[in-house]
Amino acid sequence: MFDFQEQEDLDLINNRKLLLNELELEFGENLTLGTTENISIVVSPSSYLEKILQLKNSFGFNFFLNLWISDNIADGENFELMVQLLNMDTHQRAIITCPVTELEPVPSLSDIYHGAFWCEQESWDMYGVSFDSIPKERILSPEGMEGHTLRKNFEPKPFRLKQSVDYSFSPDPRVSRSEWKRRSVHKLDMFGGEVNGPLRAIVEVYDEVIERGRLEIGYLHRGVEKIFENLSLNQIQPHLCRINTSSPTMFQQAWFGGIEKYLGVHIPDRAKALRMVFNELDRIYEHLDTIGRIVDNLGCYPFLKETIEMQESILMVMKKYSGQRLNGSLICLGGVKSDVPKGWLTECLNLLGFLEKKVLEVTKLISNSTLWMKRLCRFELNSKQAMDWGVSGPNLRASGVNYDMRKVSPHYFYNDIEFEVPLGINGQCYDRYLVRVEEILQSLSIISQLLDNLPLGDTKTKDNRVLIPRKQDVYSETNALIQHYRFYDGGVILPEGEFYNSIESSNGELGFYVHSRGESTLNRVKLRTPGFYSGQCFTDICEGGSIEELPLVINSLNLVVGEIDR
């Protein structure tokens, strides 16, 4: 029988080779190939905008992933601007590097990729590098703060908060002057049960209808990237769990998975399968949390009780494995924390049956409800808008774009597991809700297949570079004692270089860019959190709604403020 999957893989390999050849002809020695999926390109400041446009229009890099600054003051240089783009046909990522200074504004990409807007604002906020047409306004730091916090030479100083901030919108050329004067601007602070963290929505209203809107973020900003740059690898794990408390193991997987690939550490098959189980349980938990918030916004309180009950059942199973209900450090460098306790697999299989029955029961009652559809079949985000803003995950798939990293760039056993990728049609709140419901059912199937075929063997690597020696060996063997001392004194040290690793988290593409100088601490860490890009598209989605519907819009996107603010 003809293997269509094998033919698709061959076509993908050929397309990648063809694209690499074309890029090599265009960029020559400025192009460096990390892997077949990761490409690095160096451009000059004068050709920066031209080359980005060329990559989008001629080479198919039409999806914006990230933009950040690296501080090279230690090398006697200034700053490097790095832009990351994705070709969705060949699944290749390109990082474009350009030297910049704080003295000359950089051409803005926000007209080419809308998702670059917040990134460019953050670059000025954190590093003082400005962009044409982008206002020099704080996005994560408080207004009135002096200096730029991610610079290597930053010294904190006392400052006064700026009391009066201008929240007005620029005049809209599409409306008459008389109508413009009748519009009013409202600041809405949302927190607690309404949304997943503190946010401020600023909306312009005319006749009780929202004409324009935007989000103000930064209320949970803790400087996670700066924290990572000042800790050893051993000390970072607890902070990973707190970026998004609904899916902590996904952040651990993206982080440790990248380090293990970079070091060439082999992970035992049993550890790979257990990591996948934990990640899919996290996906189910977070999707249930999103559905619960939507249900709460619509006042369907009996169904809210059902979603909480399902989440509690997941937490109890996780607690039996790790001893913690939330933020459990289940994944460690080189494997997982420990093997599953006796009876855990049976309990987990029982959980799958319970969840499937409950999910089908609840969604059957609400999905086809006339009131439910009337309230949710609104606030459309089409596929072009979603890709322009850099939206990924279920929010992108709800707009009809078939892109799931578990399928296009599978890691571990996702290639061997049978599952479908649910897609929406209209990109409305209803599509975003329904895609998450279907993803829960697919995740249940994935976990069931993994547990039915769970490999035997170790749950941790035997690679001495990342392995903590056994206590009895430390007391009896000199080499083990030295290894133990080095591990806890300086931690695991990454060789000089850089890497980017990403996974399909419950909200979209979650990635870590890491640059190491071969020291005990890292030179630069940059997170690519999906919520940061989904939050920007609020500008397009909120138009035409009312003020009381804003929490529903935000929760349909599942904007986790811890992810956005970092």
Count of CB atoms situated within 10 Å of the CB of 15: 16
Q: Exposure string (b/e) for 423-457, b if CB count within 10 Å is 16 or more?
A: bbeebbbbbbbbbbbbbbbbbbbbbbbbbeeeeee
Distance CA 49, CA 52 (A): 5
What are the tens digits of pLDDT across the range 47-100? 888 888 888 888 888 889 999 988 876 555 688 889 999 888 888 888 888 888
Cα–Cα distance list, 206 to 171, 172, 555 (Å):
14, 12, 24
Check residue 2 and give its pLDDT.
35
Distance CA 183, CA 70 (A): 42
**What is the average pLDDT across 140-157?**
80
Enumerate the β-bridge partners of residue 514. 499, 525
Check residue 192 and give its pLDDT.
63
Query: Which stretch of 195-204, 220-229, 360-369, 549-558 has the lowest confidence by average pLDDT?
Result: 195-204
pLDDT band at residue 560, thresholds of 50, 70 and 90? confident
Check residue 6 and give its pLDDT.
47
Burial (0-12, 13-18, 19+ Cβ within 10 Å), 505: buried
Check residue 1 and give its pLDDT.
32
Distance CA 38, CA 154 (A): 32
What CATH number does the domain located at 24-127 have? Answer: 3.30.460.80
Count of CB atoms situated within 10 Å of the CB of 364: 9
H runs (alpha helix) in 378-477: 383-389, 394-397, 405-408, 429-452, 471-476
pLDDT band at residue 394, thresholds of 50, 70 and 90? very high
Check residue 550 and give its pLDDT.
84
Asked if the model's pLDDT at residue 3 lies above 50, the reply is no
Asked if the model's pLDDT at residue 194 lies above 80, the reply is no
Check residue 198 and give its pLDDT.
82
Cα–Cα distance list, 163 to 91, 146, 160, 198, 243 (Å):
46, 15, 9, 19, 29
- Which residues does 71 contact at the CB level (< 8 Å), separation at least 6? 79, 127, 150, 151, 152, 524
Asked if the model's pLDDT at residue 443 lies above 50, the reply is yes
Per domain, the residue ranges of the chain are 24-127, 224-565
Burial (0-12, 13-18, 19+ Cβ within 10 Å), 361: exposed
* Tokens 């003051």 belong to residue: 73
Contact between 448 and 349 under an 8 Å Cβ cutoff? The reply is: yes
Check residue 5 and give its pLDDT.
47
* Tokens 């998975």 belong to residue: 257
Return mean pLDDT, the chain.
83
Query: Which stretch of 58-62, 193-197, 259-263, 442-446 has the lowest confidence by average pLDDT?
Result: 193-197
Check residue 168 and give its pLDDT.
65
Check residue 423 and give its pLDDT.
92
Of 432, 448, 453, the C-alpha closest to 506 is 432
Asked if the model's pLDDT at residue 267 lies above 70, the reply is yes
Check residue 34 and give its pLDDT.
62
- Which residues does 144 contact at the CB level (< 8 Å), separation at least 6? 159, 160, 161, 162
Asked if the model's pLDDT at residue 545 lies above 80, the reply is no
Check residue 449 and give its pLDDT.
92
pLDDT band at residue 276, thresholds of 50, 70 and 90? very high
80 three-state secondary structure: strand
Asked if the model's pLDDT at residue 26 lies above 60, the reply is yes
pLDDT band at residue 165, thresholds of 50, 70 and 90? low
E strands within 207-336?
Answer: 209-216, 331-332, 335-336
H-helix or E-strand spanning residue 354: helix 344-366
Check residue 436 and give its pLDDT.
92
pLDDT band at residue 174, thresholds of 50, 70 and 90? low
**What is the average pLDDT across 474-501?**
81
Check residue 74 and give its pLDDT.
59
- Give the rounded percent of residues in the chain with a pLDDT score beyond 70: 91
Angle at 205 between CA 200 and CA 206, to 5 degrees: 180
pLDDT band at residue 461, thresholds of 50, 70 and 90? confident
What are the tens digits of pLDDT across the range 468-485? 777 788 888 888 888 777
Check residue 435 and give its pLDDT.
92
**What is the average pLDDT across 522-540?**
87
Burial (0-12, 13-18, 19+ Cβ within 10 Å), 413: middle
- Give the rounded percent of residues in the chain with a pLDDT score beyond 90: 10
Check residue 330 and give its pLDDT.
83
Residue type, 532: F
- Which residues does 345 contact at the CB level (< 8 Å), separation at least 6? 451, 454
Cα–Cα distance list, 471 to 101, 323, 330, 464, 468 (Å):
51, 22, 21, 14, 9
The CA dihedral of 296, 302, 304, 308, to the nearest 10 degrees, is 160
What are the tens digits of pLDDT across the range 321-333? 887 777 667 888 8
The CA dihedral of 472, 473, 475, 480, to the nearest 10 degrees, is -150
Residue 218 phi, psi dihedral angles, 5° rounding: 110, -5
What are the tens digits of pLDDT across the range 203-233? 887 777 887 888 888 888 888 888 888 888 8
**What is the average pLDDT across 368-376?**
81
Residue type, 204: E
**Tokens (6 digits) for 475:** 């007391």
Q: Which CATH superfamily is domain 224-565 in?
A: Cytochrome-c3 Hydrogenase, chain B (1.10.645.10)
